[in-house]
Every structure is written in structure tokens, then in C-alpha cells.
Structure 1
Amino acid sequence: MALPPSQARVVIIGGGVIGCSVAYHLAKLGWKDVVLLERKQLTSGTTWHAAGLIAQLRATANMTKLAKYSQELYGNLEAETGVATGFKRCGSITAALTEERKEEIFRQAAMARAFGVEAEEISPEEVKARYEHLNIDGVTGGVYLPLDGQGDPANIALAMAKGARQNGAQVIERTLVTGVKKEGRRITGVDWEQGGESGHITCEMVVNCGGMWGHQVGKMLGTNVPLHACEHFYIVTEAIEGLTQMPVLRVPDECAYYKEDAGKMLLGAFEPNAKPWAMDGIPKDFEFDQLPEDFDHFEPILEAACERMPMLAEAGIHTFFNGPESFTPDDAYHLGLAPEMDNVWVAAGFNSIGIQSAGGAGSALASWMDTGEKPFDLGDVDISRMQPFQGNKHYLFERSKETLGLLYADHFPYLQKNTARGVRRTPFHQHLLDNGAVMGELAGWERANWFANEGQKPEYEYSWKRQNFFGNVAAEVEAIRTNVGMYDMSSFGKIRVEGRDATAFMNYIGGGQYDVPVGKIVYTQFLNKTAGIEADVTVTRLSETAYFVVTPAATRLADQTWMQRHVGDFNVVITDVTAGEGVLAVMGPNARKLLETVSPNDFSNDANPFGTAQEIELGMGLARVHRVTYVGELGWEVYVSSDMAAHAFETLHAAGRDMGLMLCGMHMMDAARMEKGFRHFGHDITAEDHVLEAGLGFAVKTDKADFIGRDAVLAKKESGLENRLVQFKLTDPEPLLYHNEPVVRDGEIVGYLSSGGYGHHLGAALGMGYVPCKGETAKEMLESTFEIDVMGTRVKAEAQLKPFYDPTSERVKA
């Protein structure tokens, strides 16, 4: 067996389907010195026992793009490499057993069309016509995707490994990576063992494709890769006479999927309470292993399946299989450059969809490694979305029990996870709970999403229709619009940038002008080279040498990492100070009045105009107030050090009692920002959305010294916009929008909503989405007829570039 070379451009650790895909795609891009090391044999971890379902439709447009690419790749690999991949386009059917599930899958079918995937809503009878063996008792509807398929997972991986070798990569088995050498934020080489031999490879980059070993490989590389292995069960029947090729069938309400395979039937399960595996580490000699059978655990699924597919009751069981697969805390895989190191990449944690994801994920990662830029927005799966604490073993054990089952659970809007909760709490946590807060979780933070009324159960009751908190949020929006509301913003990221070059650094990293007076607040974006939006933040100048950057809660690490990677020779220190201060937003036409009752400071337009901050006395303590808003009203964000946070809350809450102050939650904030047309990072604005097309040109100052993305901003001004972010309001107040609904212009689908919600003050659902407009004026585009496809029904919509609420921002500046 070949020994590894002494040097390489990149070392890929792990020879499952994703490791083989990364090696294949890098080699196809012409990379030389690509070395893949596999501890045992290729595919011997999880890939070999995967079910091999290959679906095209994912939850977002870009994830769908990657899944479609995987399909096309697997279709062609056989001709390229001579390895049979078993890839067949047999179609797939998802059958719903409830009205709620039917709405979910019909909304997905509409979304599929917006993403360019063929999908058809079908009746229970049509489900039966396409899947004769199915008992359709209780089936409420189905969705058919004719181009979905299935394949042989191990051979798909082996075909990519062969393709990688044909293009010059080295794929070396039975070679364990035992350690690494580090210099600062870089790995300079990896140590290996093979048989009795050992050695070292110096390298420029490392890719962690360790699958269920990804967490421990990550630790060895100095990075955080949160994932945990769970047991995954399926059975294969004896041969069934007359059974021919069938579509893949999913019955998520019974946690089951069915796949015909060479005249046998495979039944697999994603049960709601999974069994995490290998708390004490994966056994050293694990290779093509299966785990002990647990028939009791699988029996309820099998019983329901025998009713649903009566022929199963007659067929003998040939194989009862239990094998481990890795799951991440949010059911999305990990891809990209690890935040803690500057040359360690990750592609791991594929949550049982590794076969359908690996082709596209490998291609996207290879492109990112090759150019240094993401090929398109990969925010859903970017490893930098994971918080440091999420690598905690106990946390991963608790959360992984739930994430496996969530694959087939109802994906209701605003669905909250139940496990591993309460890890991060703001200083106001107990005060909010005492006042009826119903908590949601984001990036580990417990946040008040809405407030229950007296006598109302303070918990979610999920639905695709109006949920039990709909009226509560309406009342909170009304308080903010007509009186005064207060909500907790402590979870938002707070990053301090300090040093001799702070102003010059900020002017390089961001599109705004930061050479402003002390106390001035700048709303701004950090852009990439193509003027796509990497971060959407507010920046407050605290002193001659210090700035305070406020980021969304989920992207604090990503935003801080982006800044850190661009420091270069600037003399600055960048520090996360999120936990140091609690933040209460006091918003509404009576916000000034409330603050004047608790503080002797001057909150007038002369002393504290919109977009400025000041230090104040508050009650018997001190605070700093920032006059900005994400809800489109007069208001202040009150920053108070954590030790005085409880006092600040009690002071404001008591003073607001006589004024009718209402405590509000994150759902209110989202509804109000939609009415005001404020963008939501990750939805409306991402790394691939040009800042001018997003309608944020006002925040970019091209007349200053060079900054990242400046050339791309000037080029777009020259060439004109190809898309515009448009705001939509349904003319019928009844339908609800969530996001990804197709946008229909003059009868043709032209895009989809990047975000959606209900405008309680405006009395209708609202959405935002990009509309192609090459060569058109804004006026010409808006003269079209627009509709939004809600679950297959086209609903008329008004379209505007200006906000539907307070378009001139008079209220904000009152």
C-alpha cells in the first residue's frame, strides 16, 4: 500500500462520500498535490449503509441548487469513471396524513417551482395510482417529484474517489491522522500512521471530512465542529414477488420512508426520540460495523408500516440494520472555513442526507477553497453559524435526541426545539418569564418571542394557519405603533473595535463612513469583493479610538471572524463584549416620555437626534442609549452593564405601568420591521445579494478611501441593476406568508420571497423578494401585475420599493 507523500497542497481527512467529493472537485479544478487520508477503508463509517435517497428539493434555493447538482453529477459519473453508481431517476412521493402536513408539502411544491424543480400536488387517489401497494386510509394528499432518484451510496463515493485519482489526487486508505502541527491560526502539517509506519505531511490546507468523527477531528485541528452520532434504523425485506421499480415514498407522519431495491423493500425511520451513540467516543476499530439491534425501539414504526404497506406484513425480514449517522444541533450540515483557524475547512455532519448533498457540497467547498470566495450564499450551512458552546458534549447528546426526528416532524413556522434549552440567558430572563414571556431559542439564547395574556397558556400551539399567539403579537405591534413597548435585545452581538487604526480599519472593512463625531451611529454593511453583503450592522463611535459594532445574534461569530481575517497590518483589537451588557429597546411614540420619567438627561432632537448615542443616568444607575430602531418608531436601545440590568428593567417597567407600557417579543419586532421594509440578514440580504440591488445604496459611501467591495459597487452603478428587492402586500388579508413563496409577475414565476410575515398594523401579509429588472426603470417594473403563490393559489399583491409603513421615516425622527 502506498505511503503518504511528505508534502501536499491540501490534506482531506476522511474517505466517506463527502471526502471523496471534495477530492474529486478539487482535482477537477486542476489542483495538484491533493491527498485524501482514510483511517480504514473508503465508505466504512456511515456512507456504506446509507439508504441512498437522492432528492432535489431542499428548504432554500441554494441548498436545492446543490442537491440538483448532486443528481446531475451522479448521473454522469458512471460514464466518466466506469464505476456503476446505481443512480436511477425513479421519482418520489411524499404522502400527508393530516391537513397541516398537506399544507406543508403543498407549500413546498409551490416553493419547488420557484426553485426550478418539477413538482406536482396530487390527490390521495393519484398517490395510490402511482404507488399501488400503499393503503391510502387517512392520506390527505401528496406531492410527486418526477426527477428525484436513488443510488448506490458506496459506489457513488468510490466513483468520485476514482475520478479524483484519474485527475491526479492521491486517495490513501488505512492511514490514521494522529496529530497536527500548528503555527498561530494555521495548521502546517499532519502526522499519520499506517500499519507500523508513521510520518508527517506538510500542507497548506486541511479539510475535515471526518463524518461522525468530525467533532474529535475538529478538536485535534483546533476547531469547533458540533455534531453527534445517533443510531439510525432500517429493515430490508426478503425478495417480494412481482415488486418492480417504485418511486421513493416518504410518509413523514409515520416517521417512515420506503425504497424498492432489487425486488426487496427497504423501510427506514426517523423516530421522534432518537438514540445518541458513542458518548465515550467511537471504538478505535470501527469499520463497516453495525450497532446492536433494538427491535423494541423500531417496533412502533414497523407496526404502522405494516398497516400502511400491507405486503410488508407478508414479507420476511432479510436484514434489520442499525448504523450510526452524525447529526448537528440545527439539522443543517457544516461547510466552510472554520472560524478558529485560517486554513482548516469543514464538510461534515450531514444529518442523513449526505448522499444527496455530497456532490453539491463538495463542488461548492472546492470552489470556495479555489477562489477564496463563497460561490453563492451558504449561510444555511456555514460552520461559522455554530456557537462555541455548541461543541459541549452534554449539549450535543441532549440535542441530537431531537434533531434526527425533526427531519420528518411537521416543519411548522416558528417551531422551537425542546431539547438542550436554557443554556444562554439574558440578564432580564426571569423578569420576562414572570411577566408571561414565551421563550424561543436562537444560537443558544433564550429570547422572549411573545407574551401570553393572563389565563392564556404560555406555550406555542403550532399550525400553518394563525397560531395561538397571532392576537398577542397584533397587540404588541399596536402598542409600539400607538404608545410604547419594551423588548429585550441583549442577545444581539456586541463587538468592540479599538486601537490606533480603528477608524481606518472600519473604513476599509465597511461600506459606510466611520470618520464621524464621537457618539454618532452608522447603519452599515460589510461587503465582499462582489459587493455582496457579509454583515448588516450598526456601528457607534465611542471614542477617538473605539467603535461598538452591533450584529444579529446568530452571526456575531461570523461577523467577528470576517473582521479578524481582514485586520492585516491595521493596529486594532477586536473583542466580543456581548455578555457584558443587557439591552432593552424602548420604542413607540411615547418612548421619549417614558425615558424622561426615569432619567434627568435630555432626549430631545437637539441633544440626542436620530442616529446618536449618549451616556445617561437611569434610576439610580447608569446606561448608554442609542437612538436607532428596527421597528420604525421613535425609540432608544438602552445599553446597561449586566450588574445594573435588573435595576434598569425594574425602573423602566414600574415607570411604564401608568403609561400602558407593553412588554413585547421578537415576533413583534419581525412583524414591525416587515412593515417598515427593514431587511433581515440571512433572508433578504446575503453574501450573494449586491448592496445596491438590496436597496441599501444610501448606506455605502464610495467617495472615501478604498474599502472591500468598492469596485463592485461602482461597476454596478455603471452597468445598472439586474434585480431589485421589492416589498409586497397581499390584497386579501387572510392568507399568510412565511418565505420562499413564488413571486409571479404578469403570470410568470420570476422569483420567490426572501422573507414573509404578517403586517398587523397594515392588516395583511407582507413579503420581500428580488425581482429581475435588467434594462428596466423601477417605474416600468412596478407597472406589472404581481401575485404571490400561496400553496398553489395565486394571490394579488401590491408591490413597492418604498416601505408600506411611514415611507418618509417621520415617526422615527419625531
Structure 2
Amino acid sequence: MDTGTSEMSTPDLPSESDTVVIGAGAVGCSVAYHLTELGAEDVTVVDQGPLPVTGGSSVHAPGIMFQTSPSKIQTKAAYYTSRFLSDIDAYDEVGGIEVARSEERMDFLRRRVEWATSYGLPDPELLSPEEVAEQLPLVDEDEILGGYYSPTDGRVDGIAALQWYMEHADADFYGDTEVLDLEVSNGEIDAVVTDRGRIECGRCVVATNNWGYQTGQMAGLDLPITPVEHQYVVTEPMEELADADSSVGEHTDGMDVPGNRDIQEFMSEGPTQPVGRDQDHSLYFRTHGDALGMGSYNHEPLPIDPDDMGKNSEDRQASVRGFTREHWERPTHPNRDKSAKQAFGELLPASADQEYAVTENGIFVFTPDGMPAVGETAQVDGLWTALAIWWTHSAGYGKIVAEWMENGVPRLPSGPVDTGGIHVRRFEPHAGEKDYFVDRGAKRYEQVYSIVEPRWQPDDHRALRTSPFYHQQQELGANFVQGGGWESAQWYDSNEDLVDRYEEEIPDQDGWQSINRSAIEGAEHLHTRENVSMFDMTSFSSISVEGPDSEAFLQRVCSNDMEIDVGQVRYSLLLNEGGGILADVTVVKLDEEEYMVTTGGGNSPGIHGNWLKERAPDTVSVNISEGGQATIGLWGPKSRLLLQRCTDADVSKSGFGYFRAKQMYVGEVPVVALRVSYVGELGWELWAPSEYGHRLWETLWEAGQDLDVRPMGGGALESMRLEKGFRLWGTDIDTDSNPFEAGLSFAVDMDTDFVGKEALEIAQDEGIDSRITPITLDDSDDILLSGRPVLKDGERIGYVQAADFGYSIGESIAYTYLPAEYTEAGTAVEVLCEGNRYDATVRDEPLFDAGRDKILR
């Protein structure tokens, strides 16, 4: 098959195929290749454009690859991609340099070094201005304070990579094939309908990126994929680069090319110097042989209605719009005071008066949180997505999706990966509304090169989802953060008086770690340990499981023994086939054939709830109650006294034991009360229908005034749960860890049969090489940040998963996974954070109330 011409589009399409991949760009080709490498047969790839120059973002992109990210999965996917593309000779490993023109950016570049060290990128380092100019002679070293260098960064030759995929994947590729419809029946994908025929299929992968929203609509899905315009120019040949050879004009010979062929020609011309970024002005650059390419996010966001993407034609590449010179020459970015042209002229003086051989407003996409959208959709079985992915991460996510589809375990060669932040099911119900996701996608575009503060929160589309306690919380001065659309209090200004009470126990925090924090969080923590507090848990989810086979079903999907009595509560895990932790859940037996499964908020309902629903037999009903319950965590040594005032039920130690449940009344409010506590204190979770929520809060609040009852926010919850070593899914545990590594063997009963058991048996036989471990700082009260490297004798042995100050123990805490040989209490380690090197010590857990006297009182 000749992948260099449109002749490959002439054969008739098959009438059926096991798997159809829609989109033959970087991601679709990667998915198809990796599927066939894993043994998948009968894979068909279709694309609306000619092949290999499809007309999507894969062929208009300059192909620059900077691998370092604060996200572990993004960094690991990028590194896999760079190694893979290097192996197939489609990658120029020229290195990447990010420059700093401000002290704030130099601090950020130090974080780059720490992230790269944590996640395994080789040899990251900081450079002086002179060292930057040695490698990037076009840079005026007087304009910069330094740079960050990653030697394995570089540039992908997009067309060459696509050609390689098409030649080496054991799949059939069809260009010039427009998808018209996705046929779905009984919640399953049946067929892909094209303008050249109908293909019946058992699985379909949507890898259409810029057209992702439109493709999803064919199956009735509202995928929150926002196309956004992005500016790039290439100069005419420059005297300063005259020593470089150029093959522009020869790269696309014999290929059908929609639109401006010069764009593909120049993008196919490789760099001879490191690729560069000036994030202080939202710019990046690379050489194209003897010309200079310059890209800009330095303009107001230019989102496109996803329904208006249009189609390719001989004269038009649909993913490229006309260059808007005003956005290049005027400062339209809301956070930048210089235009792209002006900022480039200062940093790269030789570019100031250059004419441009090529200009474009190229289109690529963003989700509301800026992360990819991959995985099987909840609404349609067999319909998978691989969207919002750049060349930088394309091979990595192709491998992850293929492993997920074939083996049920998303993974890279380095091991299983965490999927909570990338799963297509993570999006909340409102995320598919077009105005919402276009606004949020545009904001993510605006922030691509911005320094985003810790715990930053958006200003728009707020108060979408509020608990029945919201107005009471407002009156108490709640400082809200948004997650999954929910407004959750982080701390309450009404508790400011507590700061004076506990002043000696709350150390001052400054610098980057202190941003968007409050001493009130520590005060609420300490108050709860001594008195009683109310915590809004409404964003948490309950899932009802009912039917004659409920126990057998839960026994199959839960890692712990589900043969429990009515009124008993059991902590368990949901695992994937590889033994990775999909969720930690609390299971309550309400009646002989009725159970309540509680899990976290945010993306938990979409990911965990739907995982249960699709595995339930016909004799079991699974219903996800997201927002249908108003829930209060009532915690602290005075919680029993307060609760007993409001109920006739027996809540004594003997009458309401730990990990037990009762259906009872609090005042007039019917609740399911669980004797559990996520903060390590005596307490209850009180679950009530939402319409009773306001009265539930009011009843407890009024009854507890003489007990000094206080509201408590998420900041206190985090520090308290770390003191107790309680896990948080998506932070400490995820699909990249198994229960034994995560210190949760007590939640696994190997005498039962459950999903993932076989993988755990293998893990036990092979031995557990890594374990989650608490460490505390030896001589500092600073709060560490996640993603920062943990060292032993100068070598990285782990990185911070979660951290906070333990106000009850008076020490700064971090949790990390360490090789087993370093997990013995007393082992000395170091942590790098914000350019500082901290001495730390491995500790046994829990750090607080090891005998559980407080929680069992």
C-alpha cells in the first residue's frame, strides 16, 4: 500500500470490522498501531482527509515536544512518545530550553526540574543566560535570567510519523472517507456510517480531536471538546541560519494536500537547534532549516463553535484559519502587556524585521480542565474516545488506550497509569453544555503558559451545584472551591477567632506553598480534635444496589468480604483486572437485598458509579444518587453528645458501634447514619434526602451552640486525614497502585473471588517492591507540594503524593511511595521542594492516635 498518495483511499470499505478508529492523525494512528501490536485483529481506520496529510492538527502543527509537566501522566506519556518516535526515526532530539524573563518564571523553572526528576525525565538542569545563548544563539541573553534544559525534548516529523504508522500497523487505512453517523442500539455501538458505506463494528474509537464534539453528537454524546485558534509563523530564510540546509518543497511530493501546501512543507522541515519557549510572553519557537518558526498563545482566546469546524477541500484545510495579524501585532492577551511580535523582537532580535513565508491560525482543542478525554464512554458500550491529545503525548496515549481496550488495564511499559484525571467519564453532567465547555476551554488556552497558583479557582460558571447548606455556609463566611461543579467550603471566616485560640500550634506559612491557604484551616483542624464540627459532604456520592443477587454482585466487584449483616458497614476497594485501585468505597447493608455504596464526589459518580452499573446483572439495580443526598460529617469528641440531643436512637458506644449504620431520625429528618469518620475522631456521617438538608443543618447547629459546634472546611479535612493515614482516591491511590502497595491489604479478602484477584495473587508471589509511606520533615514546618522528588543519597526514590501540616502532631507530613528497602521507620531521606532541600524521616503510620482510642471512644 502506497501511503504517500491518495491511491490508498480507492479500495472499497469493509462492511464489518472488529474495531473502527475514526481519525488518522497522530492519536488515531497510534491507537491503531498499538492495538495491532497487542494482537487486535481486523482494525479499520477512516479519515475525512487524504492520507497521510489528513488536514487535521497533526499536519499543521510545528511538532515541538516539551515533555515536562506537573502532571505525572502527561510527563510519562510524553516521554514514551519521544522514545517511540525516536525509535522510528520521526523525531529530532535537539533538546528543549524554556527561558525565564522574570524571577517568578525562574522559580517556575526550578519546579520544572523537580517535576522532571520526580517523573523520570533524564538530566534536567537549569542554565545560565550565557549557557542558553550558547545553544540558542538567536536569543539575546541580556533579556533573560536563565533557562530550563531538557535534553530529550525535540520535534516530531508529523507526516513521517503518520506514514510510518500506516506502513507498520496491521490495520487498514481509508482516507477521503467522511463519517456521517454512529449507529447505536441498546446502549452499544453497532456501526460507523460513512459516505462510502456502512461498517458494522464491535468497538469504535473517536480520535477526531478538532471534530470530537461533532463526532460525539452522532452517538448522542455531549463531549466537551473546544476547538481554539492558535497562531504560528515561519520567516523567510534568515542570514543568521544560512548554514542550515533546507529541503522545503520536497517533503510532500506526490501527496494530496488540502489547503496551503507550504504549511505542510515548512512543518516537515526539521530544527537544527533546541526548541525554545518564552512562557513569560506565551511564546515558543524553533528553526525550520534556515528559517525561524514562532508560535504564540499571546492573544485573546479565539474559540470556535465546534459545530462550525467545517470540512477539508482542495483549497482549504479545515483546521487552519486565516492569520489574524491584529492578534500578532497587538497585545490582546488579558495577562500580557506586549504583543507576540514585540516580545519576539526583544528576545530574538534577528526576527524583528523578518518577512513571513507562512502564517496560520491553526486549530487544536482543549477540555474544560485542559486534560485529555480518553476511555470508554458511559453512555455507549464499545465507544471509546482518545481526544484533546497533542503530538507530545500521542504515542503514550495510543499505548494507554490500546492496553485499556485489549487487557482492561491502562498502562505504559513503565507500569499502570492513573486514569482519574484523563477519563472521559470524569466530566460532570453540565460539562457538555456548549457555552460552558467553550468558555472553560478558552480559559485553559489562555493559561497554557501562565503560572497557575496552587489551588487556583476559576471565576466563571460558579455556584452551578450547591448543597442545601449553601446559604447557611455563606452566612458563616465560607471560602468555596469548585470541584466537579460543586461548591465546597475550604474554610470559614466565622472561625477566625479560633486562630488566636490555637496561635501557638499553627506555624506561619509563606512563599508559593502559602498561596490560597489560611491559618483558619489549621484552627478548624484543632477545634475538631477537641470539640465538634460539621462538614458538608453533599458532593460525595451514594450508589444504591438492590435486588436478589446484590450480595453476590458486590462480592464479585468488591475486594473485601461482602457477607455482612444488616446495619454493618464495610470498607472495600473496586479493582480493575490488573489489580489497580479504581475506587475505595464504603458499603452499607440496609436490608437483606438493599445496600448503599458511598464514594467521593467530583469524578467518582461518572467513573465508579458507571463501572458498577455496567457490570450489574439484570437481577441487580444500580442507581447513582449524585446530589440526591445531603450529607453532614459530624466529627469530634463532643459529636455523640450533640447527636444524642437530636435523636431518640441509641448512639452510645455500646448501642452504635464503629462501622455500623442505623436508619433513624435527627429531629424530624430521616437519615442513614454511619458510624465512620474520615478525620480519625469520634463521629458520624449523616445521609438524608436533599430536600431535608437545610433542616438537618439547622437542627444540629442549634443543638450544638453551647458545645461550640463549628463548621469545618476541606483544608482541615485534608490535614486530619493525613495524620491518620486515610487514603484519598486520585491522590494517594489510583489505578497505578495495588492494595498491597497502598497499605490497604485489610480491605482485601483473598478467600473471596473478585475482579483483580488473579493480578493480586501474582503480585503477592512476585513480592511487593513499593509501598506508600509517611515521612515528616526533621526541622521545618513548611508544607510540601505534590510531585516533588524524594531522594536517598542524592538519587530519586519517590515523589510526594500528598502533603500538609499535621497540626495535632506538630509536624509537616508527606506521603510517598518508596521502594520497600527504604520504608523502615527511621530511614533518613530528603525532599526537594521550591528549590529547597529538606531533611525528612520515614515514619510508621498512623502518625496520630495509633491505638484508635479517639475514633472508638
TM-score by length of 2: 0.87
Contact 1:452 1:469 in 2 (8 A): no
Aligned to 1:518: 566
Give the one of 441, 451, 473 matched to 1:410.
451
Contact 2:649/2:665 (CA < 8 Å) preserved in 1?
A: yes
**Secondary structure at the residue paired with 1:638?**
strand
State the partner residue of 1:786.
829
Q: Deviations over 1:47-102 (max 9, x none)?
A: 22112111232333343222112112222324xxxxxx3x2111111223444433
Which residue is equivalent to 1:51?
A: 62
Q: Tell me, yes or no, if the aligned pair for 2:827 and 2:841 is still in contact at 8 Å.
A: no
Structure 2: give runs of 5+ residues left out of the alignment: 1-9, 245-271, 332-338, 498-508
CA positional deviation for 1:530: 3.1
> Do the aligned partners of residues 621 and 138 (structure 1) sit closer, same or farther apart at CA in structure 2, a change above 3 Å counting?
farther
- After superposition, the Cα gap between the structure-2 partners of 1:655 and 1:65, relative to the gap in structure 1 and judged at 3 Å, is same
* Cα distance, 1:305 vs structure 2: 2.6
Per the alignment, residue 27 of structure 2 pairs with 18
Partner of residue 144, structure 1: 149
Distance 1:763 1:359 in 2: 46
| 1:277 Cα deviation after fit | 0.6
Q: 1:117-156 residue pairs with structure 2 within 5 A?
A: 117=121, 118-136=123-141, 139-156=144-161
**Counterparts of 2:480 and 2:822 in 1: how far apart (Å)?**
44
The match for 2:424 among 373, 378, 383 is 383
8 Å Cα contact 1:226-1:328 kept in structure 2: yes
Q: Which moved more, 1:268-277 or 1:406-415?
A: 268-277
C-alpha distance in 1 between matches for 2:510 and 2:200? 53
Distance apart, 1:318 and its partner CA: 3.2
Distance 2:829 2:138 in 1: 43
Aligned to 1:399: 440
The question of whether the paired residues in 1 share the 8 Å contact of 2:408 and 2:578 is answered with no
Question: 1:596: which partner in 2?
Answer: 644
For 2:80, the aligned partner's letter is Y
Which of residues 577, 587, 592 in structure 1 aligns to 2:635? 587
Q: Which amino acid aligns with 1:555?
A: S
- Tell me the SS of whatever aligns to 2:192: strand
Find out whether 1:232 has 2:234 as its counterpart: no
SS in 2 for 1:514: coil
> More displaced, 731-740 or 803-812?
731-740
SS of the residue corresponding to residue 802 of structure 1 reads coil
Partner of 1:82: none
Change (3 A) 1:279 1:374: closer
Counterpart among 807, 825, 828 of residue 760 in structure 1? 807
Pair 731,330 (structure 1): closer, same or farther in 2 beyond 3 Å: same
- Whichever residue aligns with residue 261 of structure 1, its letter is H
Percent identity between matched residues is 30
Q: What's 2:4 paired with? A: none
Following superposition, the deviation at residue 703 of structure 1 comes to 2.9
Matching of residue 742 in structure 1 with residue 772 in structure 2: no
Amino acid at match of 1:229: P
1:348 aligns with 2:357: no
2:665 paired with 1:665: no
In 1, Cα distance between equivalents of 2:297 and 2:511: 21
Q: Deviations over 1:446-485 (max 9, x none)?
A: 21122235999xxxx9961322533121111111222222
Q: CA deviation at 1:688?
A: 2.8
The offset of 1:715, in angstroms, is 4.3
Structure 2 counterpart of 1:9, one-letter code: D
Partner of 2:107: 103
Tell me whether 1:90 sits opposite 2:90 in the alignment.
no
Counterpart in the other structure of 2:360 = 321
Find the counterpart in structure 2 of residue 174 from structure 1: 176
Q: Tell which deviates more after alignment, 30-39 or 124-133.
A: 124-133
**Structure 2: how far apart are the matches of 1:473 and 1:599?**
30
Instruction: Report if the CA contact (8 A) 1:733-1:763 is conserved.
Output: no
Corresponding residue for residue 282 of structure 1: 309
Q: Give 1:67's match in structure 2, choosing from 78, 90, 103.
A: 78
Number of residue pairs matched by the alignment = 787
Q: 1:124 to 1:619 in 2, by over 3 A?
A: farther
The 1:594/1:539 distance shift into structure 2, 3 A limit, reads same
Distance 2:661 2:576 in 1: 28
Instruction: Give 1:373's match in structure 2, choosing from 409, 422, 444.
Output: 409
CA distance in 2, matches of 1:138, 1:452: 44
| Separation (CA, whole Å) in 2 of partners of 1:160 and 1:421 | 44
CA shift at 1:499, angstroms? Answer: 0.6
Matches within 5 A, 1:659-808: 659-704=707-752, 706-773=753-820, 781-808=824-851
Distance 2:547 2:401 in 1: 35
Q: Which segments of 5 or more consecutive residues in structure 1 lack a partner in the other structure?
A: 79-84
TM-fit CA distance, 1:137: 5.4
Name the counterpart of 1:638. 686
**Would you say 1:8 and 2:47 are equivalent positions?**
no
Matched AA of 1:269: S
1:188 and 2:190 aligned:
yes
Instruction: Kindly indicate whether the alpha-carbon contact (under 8 Å) linking 2:631 and 2:686 is maintained by their aligned counterparts in 1.
Output: yes
Alignment-derived partner of residue 556 in structure 1: 605
TM-score under structure 1 length normalisation = 0.92
Per-residue displacement from partner, 1:227-268 (whole Å, max 9, x unpaired)? 111111122222221236332222222111122222222222
Q: For residues 622 and 27 of structure 1, what CA distance do their matches in structure 2 show?
A: 55
> How far apart, CA to CA, are the structure 2 residues paired with 1:765 and 1:234?
46
- Give distance in 2, aligned partners of 1:120 and 1:453: 46
Instruction: Indicate the residue corresponding to 1:81 in structure 2.
Output: none
Q: Residue type of the partner of 2:61?
A: A
Residue aligning to 2:674: 626
- State the one-letter code of the partner of 2:354: A
8 Å contact from structure 1 (residues 222, 341) kept in 2: no
SS in 1 for 2:239: coil
Q: Aligned with 2:240: secondary structure?
A: coil
